Structure 1
Amino acid sequence: MSEIGIRTSGLSPYVALPAELESLENLGISEYQRAAKITDRMRPGIDIPILGLFGEVGSLLAALKKQTRDHPDREKYAASIKEELGDTLWYLANIASRTDQDLDVLAQRTVRSISDWDEVQPNFGTFDDIQSNIKELTQSEFEAILITLAGRVGDLVKDLGSGALTNNRDRLSGHLVDIFGNLLTAADAARISLGEAATANLLKVFSRWPLTEEYPPLIDDGMPDNEQIPRKFEILIEERKINGKIYVQQKLNGVIIGDRLTDNKREKDDFRFHDVFHMSYAVFLGWSPVLRNLLHLKRKSDPIIDENEDGARALLIEEGVSTFIFQRAIDRDFFKGQTQVDYDLLKSIRDFTRGFEVDRCALWQWEKAILEACRIFSELKRYRKGYIAADLISHTLEFRRVPEDRRED
């Protein structure tokens, strides 16, 4: 399947979409189903997507519980509900795809009776065409709708477990129509466009699991050469011991850069080597205010960028993100042997960096930056020194050992 790169407006992630999707605007129901099918990486069968559907409806109820308990602002609450609705819709669409059912047909049957059950149109319109503008509901009324939705999905899971769905597509179809209808009612009650939820869902999925790893242009493309992060560079990171104190020193082209680094913690964890994370961000995200500061590459030619993207707050954000990732990596043995990081980590990072220029980078870029940083960090932890070669053109980060009989003084 061919792909095209789509850069969405503002600071939204840069993602590659299927060529069949010219845009995510006014997404048709059948278009959404086809796109969702492309991203389906679950094992064959319907048991996993049905259980996934059950889990997402549970997440919807959890979001409602948090809203009731914590009373977050409506905008945050709506964003959480929208994401959970989109995830629920994704599983529903893929259950339909795996059983050769059209999502737009199921959508139309949510408002059909027995007498006109088969009166459906091919390639029916958008999600907005089947949503209604019901009156504003009380909290208890909305809760009742979500509980009903959960009950419908529970009935589906019960039939799956009993074998009632085996060779009985009509029974499954009836379940899906009921669930879709209740999902629409829930979206209506929450005053959320299911079309917007579907669009946000695809953007998230393609941002995490791209069809192709197509990097966006580097963030500082077009800036003066002396304000660009070097496209290729190599830094020596080496552990030293002076007067009984251990610290890390870094050199670029034989020149010491930055301050001496220690773990800054009573319980030693080798955080002193953490600057490899900043290098990894530069390679895979094209972003690192910390590295810019170390190399004196602030974009002074543009006062707005200099203040807002290369300033103290951006540095604090990056250091905070790095510390957060580092602690999570410790808990996960630095993701040794793993090819993915958990979505909650990526989502938290996106929340941390929202509004900064790195917001344009996709989740898969963050994932790669984290995994590669952890890989290089593990090498430094083992050998205590080494050359780290960064290539922002080929997007590679490599570790090279320092010969045992050689020391860079």
Structure 2
Amino acid sequence: MDANQFQQEASRTVKINWAHENGPDIAILGAIGELGSLASVLKKKQRDGKAYSHFTEHFSEEIGDILWYVVVMASRMNVTFDEWPSYKGVELDIFQSTYSLLDQIYLLHKKRGALFEIGSANQEVVNLYLETLRNLQHLAGFVEQDLSEIADKCVNKTLSYWGHDELPAAKFDSNFPEYEQLPRKFEIEFLPLKDPNTTIMRMNGVQLGDRLTDNSYEDDGYRFHDVFHIAGAGLLGWSPVFRRLLKAKRKSDSKVDEVEDGARAAIIEEAIINHIYDFARPEFLKGIRRVDLDLIKRVQRLVRGYEVSQCEPWEWQHCILEGYRIFRELKISGAGILQVDAEKRTLTLQPHPDK
């Protein structure tokens, strides 16, 4: 991807309110933060040597993240790039180049006020941006890549995070008999028993699984955690645990039944839910509109090799945020009928008439 294309694509995904008094700080702090991550990757490489097997992947990704913020700031000041600069003649080692990048980002920070004014760049600022890109190009060379490759990966990653939640959920079981498919539109009842901290789930009047409690010394609502399995089924098209509750395992294909619907996949799903649950406490993502991309990356690493690995970061984000929205509503109401529509990718909680 050439520099001009990347600049256009990066501009499409900018959510910064430049008019806000702290708008420019988002871009500047973003670049500083990603530079810190780059330094951390470099430190780990020096400390762990060949044991750090993902160095190239992580180092190039951090270069791409810094590149995005630098190009976004340049675009704000009407600085455009036709091609990526060459780093020929630069003789810095990887450490000196990283320290030089720190100096350049610091100088960009000194131009913070200019980010409030569109088209405010003079030749000095233009040269600073070009030198910053040249330095990033130099760093990319240490992992035998260039900015065109890194820019392409950065755009794909960014667009995968800012996706479209109105698209239907995946249907990984479409080639299987209907009785081995997850339903696309269904309702689940959550109903408390005499003990308000004990809940049952029902579908079509039939109880699913055992009675649910928090399994905790405190009332933290974990008895409603099956919401996350249901959200996975409806918004990702994936939940080995919920599939087992529905007795919809794909037994017509023994390998798929063993791998995708088996115990190991179910354990991974439970591990993901517990990991996200710990991340979400204590407010359970109330008021949060974006999920930390690092969290989503960890989740994606856990599902490598499984069908759900095809889901994009935005799909995981949508599933997590919607699952927790319903979870918070259930914690307050204690009961409800959860309506799931995988075609519209929606979850809706209605009051339960029998509460």
Residue 287 of structure 2 corresponds to which residue in structure 1? 337
Q: Give me the whole-angstrom Cα distance separating, in 1, the residues matched to 2:295 and 2:96.
A: 32
Residue 127 of structure 1 corresponds to which residue in structure 2? none
Q: Deviations over 1:64-102 (max 9, x none)?
A: 223334557343122211211111111122223222233
The yes-or-no answer on 1:350 pairing with 2:327 is no
> Equivalences for 1:233-312 in 2 at 5 Å?
233-241=186-194, 246-312=197-263
Q: Give me the whole-angstrom Cα distance separating, in 2, the residues matched to 1:82 and 1:399.
A: 43
Residue 151 of structure 1 corresponds to which residue in structure 2? 103
Letter in 2 for 1:344: D
Distance change (3 Å), C-alpha of 1:313 and 1:196: farther
Contact kept in structure 1, 2:167 and 2:345, CA below 8 Å: no
Between 1:79-88 and 1:202-211, the stretch displaced more is: 202-211
Contact kept in structure 2, 1:321 and 1:349, CA below 8 Å: yes
Letter in 1 for 2:3: I
Residue 318 of structure 1 corresponds to which residue in structure 2? 269
Residue 74 of structure 2 corresponds to which residue in structure 1? 96
Q: Alpha-carbon deviation of 1:285?
A: 0.7
Q: Deviations over 1:298-321 (max 9, x none)?
A: 112222221211111110111111
Q: TM-score, normalised by structure 2?
A: 0.88
Q: Give me the whole-angstrom Cα distance separating, in 2, the residues matched to 1:110 and 1:290.
A: 52
Distance change (3 Å), C-alpha of 1:162 and 1:310: closer
Residue 361 of structure 1 corresponds to which residue in structure 2? 311
Residue 387 of structure 1 corresponds to which residue in structure 2? 337
Q: Give me the whole-angstrom Cα distance separating, in 2, the residues matched to 1:238 and 1:69.
A: 54
Q: Give me the whole-angstrom Cα distance separating, in 2, the residues matched to 1:103 and 1:365.
A: 33
Q: Deviations over 1:226-253 (max 9, x none)?
A: 11101111111222246xx943211111
Picking from 54, 57, 61, the partner of 1:83 is 61
Picking from 9, 16, 20, the partner of 1:35 is 9
The yes-or-no answer on 1:398 pairing with 2:351 is no
Residue 375 of structure 1 corresponds to which residue in structure 2? 325
Letter in 1 for 2:24: D
Number of aligned residue pairs = 349
Aligned residue for 1:339, secondary structure, equals coil
Aligned residue for 1:335, secondary structure, equals coil
> Equivalences for 1:196-207 in 2 at 5 Å?
196-207=149-160
Distance change (3 Å), C-alpha of 1:352 and 1:81: same
The yes-or-no answer on 1:186 pairing with 2:186 is no
Residue 24 of structure 1 corresponds to which residue in structure 2? none
Q: Which runs of 5+ in 2 are unaligned?
A: none
Q: Give me the whole-angstrom Cα distance separating, in 2, the residues matched to 1:162 and 1:387.
A: 53
Letter in 2 for 1:93: V
Contact kept in structure 2, 1:283 and 1:390, CA below 8 Å: yes
Picking from 15, 24, 30, the partner of 1:47 is 24
Contact kept in structure 1, 2:114 and 2:121, CA below 8 Å: no
Q: Alpha-carbon deviation of 1:219?
A: 1.8
Between 1:377-386 and 1:180-189, the stretch displaced more is: 377-386
Q: Alpha-carbon deviation of 1:179?
A: 0.8
Distance change (3 Å), C-alpha of 1:77 and 1:372: same
Distance change (3 Å), C-alpha of 1:338 and 1:152: closer
Distance change (3 Å), C-alpha of 1:306 and 1:280: same
Identity of aligned residues (%): 37
Contact kept in structure 2, 1:39 and 1:205, CA below 8 Å: yes
The yes-or-no answer on 1:195 pairing with 2:178 is no
Letter in 1 for 2:95: E
Distance change (3 Å), C-alpha of 1:109 and 1:170: farther
Query: Over the residues paired in the alignment, what is the CA RMSD in angstroms?
Result: 2.8
Residue 39 of structure 2 corresponds to which residue in structure 1? 61
